[in-house]
């Protein structure tokens, strides 16, 4: 067999460059066709998404003589006579996500339950840089927390979006660290808006619902729109969810974050209502549905509730879609609102329901003394030589009770003019100014504990608040 070799002319340099350029262009074009809006959004945002691991201490009792739970009598005997000597302490770790919202100052937004009870918080960036984080503030009622890290190099951060502009059905992207798998991306659509979720003994309001997968570890990570703008903070608090994810709208999260950075806590929004449990006789008289309703005992002047048209004596049977039967349920429902939120209150009158849209505001500190008289039933004053002499006061510091509203709870339990309020919950009262700040801080916390001094003795009084 004869083998014939055909000599082909060599490709010229110009032709080689042409074909190489053509191949490169084709490859680039293929890449561009594959680089969807989701890919571009993830590329832009991923550097600002962080992995958060928090360490907490767990204390467990150890019975050195018996297996725990074998005999209740011996377990009880052991607890009474041997604790706290036999205790075992070990550390647990929880994993979550976060997003850098201010690269210049090092602020990170995440969920409160991610860092709850933590003694140490570690933050790892996409480039594997690790930092010890400081807790700036946490808001359990909103499941949000702000952390701070210090870096010598500029930190990447994220572009804030507008959660009031979200459309049901639009594509969303969730990024986080589910089950420890760093920077996991899932996509879905907005399934619904303004969802209320009851979890961990609290009611969380105004959530974004999505079908993007949000699992433990995703908590605290960003929910993005197709442009890569931050529209929500993912939260995995609803244990029964399957194929359902929830996120806190970023507009609400921003308001909470600003309070946490400025004050270290959230100043609860103001509605301006004082409610009480409904007496059974009134339930029958007003023909209120069984097991529902609270009585409005006071509407504060110039409050959002008064502006919406609510009056003393109204009976509120629901907050939004949630029926209420006790004053405690009412305060639980409104505890998670911020200034600017609109709360729907449903009242009952003559067998018919009426609805009121109440736009919440920041509580004005100038009204704190009026609120204290309406809700606590006390008027107070700074301690002066004249008041010391008039009431024979030795205590200092504190505020002097100068008057009590007739029939109020504090009067019924024996408080009287001349007593000195020295503390409200964990806030030391040094004068009227600190008293007003404590009132603003604790007006939705039930109950509040007052430390009162009369002569040389101090007393603790637990009193319900709310407005």
97 with 141, same domain: the answer is yes
423 with 396, same domain: the answer is yes
Residue 35 included in any domain = no
Q: Kindly name the residue from 53, 54, 219, 303 that is annotated as catalytic.
A: 219
170 with 249, same domain: the answer is yes
Q: Is this structure's pTM higher than 0.95?
A: no
Task: Tell me which residue of 335, 329, 333, 337 sits closest to 361, measured CA to CA.
Answer: 337
Asked if 241 contacts 207 with a C-beta cutoff of 8 angstroms, the reply is no
Domain-ending residue, one of 337, 361, 385? 361
Residue 451 included in any domain = yes
User: Domain holding 64: CATH number?
Assistant: 2.40.10.10
Note the pLDDT tens digit of each residue in 422-463: 999 889 999 999 999 888 888 766 678 999 999 888 999 988
457 with 374, same domain: the answer is yes
Q: Kindly name the residue from 53, 97, 113, 163 that is annotated as catalytic.
A: 113
Decide if 366 is catalytic. no
**Residue 204, pLDDT score:** 80
State the residue range of the domain holding 453: 365-463
Decide if 91 is catalytic. no
137 with 62, same domain: the answer is yes
Q: How far apart are CA 137 and CA 441, in angstroms?
A: 14
**Residue 467, pLDDT score:** 46
Asked if 109 contacts 98 with a C-beta cutoff of 8 angstroms, the reply is yes
CA angle, residues 301, 295, 207, in degrees to nearest 5: 80
- pLDDT below 50 — which residues of the chain? 1, 4-6, 67-70, 467
**Residue 353, pLDDT score:** 92
Look up residue 296 and give its two tokens: 């409005």
CA angle, residues 244, 115, 227, in degrees to nearest 5: 50
Domain-ending residue, one of 119, 148, 177? 148
Domain-ending residue, one of 263, 288, 312? 263
Q: How far apart are CA 395 and CA 95, in angstroms?
A: 48
59 with 131, same domain: the answer is yes
Q: Kindly name the residue from 53, 97, 143, 157 that is annotated as catalytic.
A: 143
276 with 236, same domain: the answer is no
Residue 13 included in any domain = no
Residue 252 included in any domain = yes
**Residue 461, pLDDT score:** 92
Residue 319 included in any domain = yes
Residue 201 included in any domain = yes
Residue 119 included in any domain = yes
Task: Give the chain's domain count.
Answer: 4
Residue 28 included in any domain = no
Decide if 143 is catalytic. yes
172 with 184, same domain: the answer is yes
């Amino acid at each position: 067999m004869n083998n014939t070799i055909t000599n082909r002319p060599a490709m010229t340099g110009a032709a080689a460059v042409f074909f190489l350029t053509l191949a490169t262009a084709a490859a680039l074009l293929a890449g561009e066709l594959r680089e969807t809006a989701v890919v571009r959004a993830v590329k832009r945002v991923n550097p600002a998404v962080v992995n958060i691991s928090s360490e907490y201490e767990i204390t467990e009792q150890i019975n050195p003589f018996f297996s725990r739970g074998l005999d209740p009598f011996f377990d009880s005997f052991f607890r009474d006579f041997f604790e706290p000597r036999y205790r075992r302490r070990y550390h647990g770790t929880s994993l979550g996500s976060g997003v850098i919202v201010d690269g210049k100052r090092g602020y990170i937004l995440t969920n409160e339950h991610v860092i709850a009870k933590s003694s140490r918080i570690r933050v790892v960036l996409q480039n594997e840089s690790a930092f010890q984080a400081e807790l700036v503030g946490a808001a359990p009622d909103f499941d949000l927390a702000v952390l701070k890290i210090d870096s010598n190099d500029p930190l990447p951060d994220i572009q804030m979006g507008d959660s009031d502009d979200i459309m049901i059905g639009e594509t969303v992207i969730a990024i986080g660290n589910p089950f420890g798998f760093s920077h996991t991306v899932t996509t879905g659509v907005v399934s619904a808006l303004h969802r209320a979720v009851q979890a961990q003994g609290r009611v969380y309001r105004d959530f974004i619902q999505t079908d993007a997968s949000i699992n433990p570890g995703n908590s605290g990570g960003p929910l993005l729109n197709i442009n890569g703008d931050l529209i929500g903070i993912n939260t995995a608090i609803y244990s029964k969810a399957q194929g359902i994810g929830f996120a806190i709208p970023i507009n609400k999260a921003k308001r909470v974050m600003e309070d946490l950075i400025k004050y270290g806590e959230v100043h609860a929004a103001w509605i301006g209502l004082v409610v009480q449990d409904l007496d059974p006789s009134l339930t029958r008289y007003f023909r209120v549905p069984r097991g529902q309703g609270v009585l409005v005992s006071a509407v504060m002047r110039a409050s959002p509730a008064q502006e919406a048209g609510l009056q003393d004596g109204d009976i509120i049977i629901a907050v939004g879609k949630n029926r209420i039967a006790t004053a405690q349920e009412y305060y639980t429902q409104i505890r998670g609102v911020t200034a600017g939120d609109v709360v729907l209150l449903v009242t009952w009158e003559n067998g018919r329901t009426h609805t009121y849209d109440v736009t919440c505001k920041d509580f004005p500190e100038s009204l704190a003394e009026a609120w204290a008289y309406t809700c606590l039933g006390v008027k107070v004053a700074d301690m002066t030589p004249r008041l010391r002499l008039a009431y024979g006061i030795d205590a200092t510091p504190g505020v002097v009770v100068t008057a009590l509203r007739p029939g109020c709870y504090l009067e019924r339990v024996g408080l009287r003019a001349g007593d000195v309020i020295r503390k409200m919950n964990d806030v030391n009262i040094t004068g009227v100014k600190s008293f007003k700040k404590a009132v603003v801080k604790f007006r939705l916390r039930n109950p509040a504990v007052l430390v009162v001094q009369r002569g040389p003795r101090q007393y603790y009084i637990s009193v319900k608040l709310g407005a």
